[in-house]
Structure 1
Amino acid sequence: MELLHAIKERRSVREYSPEPVDDALLRSLIDAAVQAPSAINQQPWCFVVVKKPELLAEISEKAKAYMRKASLTAPAHPFRDMFNDPKFDVLYHAPVLVVIGTEQPTDWAVEDCALAAQNLMLAAHEAGLGTCWIGFAQHWLSTPEGKAALGLSASCFPVAPIIIGHPRRKPASVPHKAPNIKWIEA
């Protein structure tokens, strides 16, 4: 697959089959992730791979509860009904969650982990898998309880919770805004 084609065709997937994802394939995705550039070549990332269904369900429920408390104080919050729906799964029933985090609080660790996440998502797309960065899980995973659920130290900071699985269908293409470019030339 050509790189630009992969960049243009990759979409966030929110519907997965129950088919498991092979461990060797997951390892190859992480190998692609660590090829990302990092500031001063610090490579601050760490990875937690969650395949245990009970833990995936717990993360979904705890993240929903956290979001209900933290974000839904506004009377017309756009996600109120979704977070109150007992059928809504924050992780969209994906069979795998890879959390990219950092144990090293460097000035650019978050950006470094985001670059690794993009590599992982593009490599997954090339392998025929779907991915989605789950922002709804990010805040709860950063709590002491969330870190403990993942077996992370108190100093670790989870940056990118990425779900991975076999898509039930290919998501539709979405329109993109024209870039806002300001040229400064000599």
Structure 2
Amino acid sequence: MKSPDHIMIKGYKHVSFEAELFSEQESIKKSIAFHDWLDKRRSVRDFSDRPVSKQIIDNLIMTASTAPSGAHKQPWTFCAVSNPTLKTEIRKAAEIEEKETYEHRMGERWKKDLEPLGTDMHKPFLEIAPWLIIAFKKAYTFGENGEKHNNYYVNESIGIACGMLISAIHNAGLVTLTHTPSPMNFLTKLLNRPSNERAFLLLPVGYPKNPAYVPDIKRKQLDEVAVFYE
């Protein structure tokens, strides 16, 4: 007998879910291939100014929005900026904060840890990359009468969404890097975001410059990042 396509649970509709199942060998093969492919992803700072269509950006954001979230509140807004004037304003404001961070907020150990990555207070990629995607987290939402309704597990939810966004960018043959100037209040002001939104992460998105160079870094091995209880 065929199962129904939906059932009611506590008065709410639940639809039938069908997973795509593989044999163990197929799953092993696919998991290896996915790791090897994702392991090629790198944070890139050398961007080309080659245009990226808005349709691609639309698809990337919609992919990020498939992420799970606390009580399915989807507590995020992704602001996509391609306007050159606005990108210049964002760069200027970001570099003011970065200068303060590098000169006064960072300890010597932090600066030493960053040396192999070659970062500094100058962020030209904020103007060169054709798109900037700024992820805002929604601490709460407003009801019909303007009352506040808290969202749940906001940082966890938007963190997962941003991870999926980064993977989607890599999947589209594009590059990005995670930029977190601190504080990021200037983004709320420049983008005229409402009071319930807080800037969480800035991702420049585009094609890599030819040639582009990245630090020669190594990722931790399995025994350094996992503990098994069998």
Q: Normalized against structure 1, the TM-score is what? A: 0.81
1:13 aligns with 44
Does residue 45 of the first structure (1) align with residue 76 of the second (2)?
Answer: yes
Distance 1:43 1:75 in 2: 36
Partners of 1:119 and 1:75 in 2: CA distance: 32
Q: Bigger radius of gyration, 1 or 2?
A: 2
The residue type equivalent to 2:173 in the other structure is G
Match of 2:120 among 82, 87, 98: 82
What is the CA distance between 1:170 and its match in structure 2?
A: 5.9
The superposition leaves residues 21-41 of structure 1 with CA deviations (integer Å, 9 ceiling, x where unpaired) of 101110010111011111222
Question: What letter matches 2:58 in structure 1?
Answer: R
Deviations 1:73-132, CA, capped at 9 Å, x for gaps: 2685738x932x5xx426272111101112234342122112111111111111111111
Question: For the residues of structure 1 that align with 2:51 and 2:203, how far apart are their CA atoms?
Answer: 16
Of 117, 130, 154, 2:175 maps to 130
| Alignment RMSD | 2.7
Does the Cα contact within 8 Å between 2:187 and 2:199 map onto a contact in 1? Answer: no
**Higher relative contact order (CA closer than 8 Å, sequence separation 6+):** 1
Number of residue pairs aligned between Structure 1 and Structure 2:
177
AA at the equivalent of 2:139: Q
Aligned pairs (5 A) from 1:58-137: 58-70=89-101, 72-73=103-104, 76=108, 78=111, 82-83=120-121, 88-89=123-124, 91=126, 93-105=128-140, 106-136=151-181
Q: Distance in 2 between matches of 1:9 and 1:67?
A: 28
The CA distance in 1 between the partners of 2:84 and 2:212, in whole Å, is: 24
The 1:184/1:3 distance shift into structure 2, 3 A limit, reads: closer
Q: Which residue of 2 aligns with 1:146?
A: 187
- 2:204 corresponds to which letter in structure 1? I
What's the CA shift for 1:8? Answer: 1.4
Of 158, 179, 183, which aligns to 2:199?
Answer: 158
Query: Residues 98 and 164 of structure 1 are in contact (CA less than 8 Å); yes or no, is this contact kept in structure 2?
Result: yes
CA contact (8 A) 2:135 2:201 kept: yes
Query: Matched residues in 1 for 2:37 and 2:127: separation?
Result: 23
- For 1:19, give the aligned amino acid: R
The unaligned stretches of length 5 or more in structure 2 are 1-29, 141-150
CA 59–28 in structure 1, closer or farther in 2 if over 3 Å, else same: same
- The DSSP-based 3-state class of the residue aligned with 2:39 is helix
Tell me the TM-score normalized by structure 2: 0.67
For residues 118 and 25 of structure 1, the distance between their equivalents in structure 2, rounded to whole angstroms, comes to: 17
Paired with 2:134 and 2:85, the residues of 1 have a C-alpha distance of 16
Give % identity.
24
Q: Which amino acid aligns with 1:155?
A: N
Q: Distance in 2 between matches of 1:170 and 1:9?
A: 14
Residue identity opposite 2:166 in structure 1? M
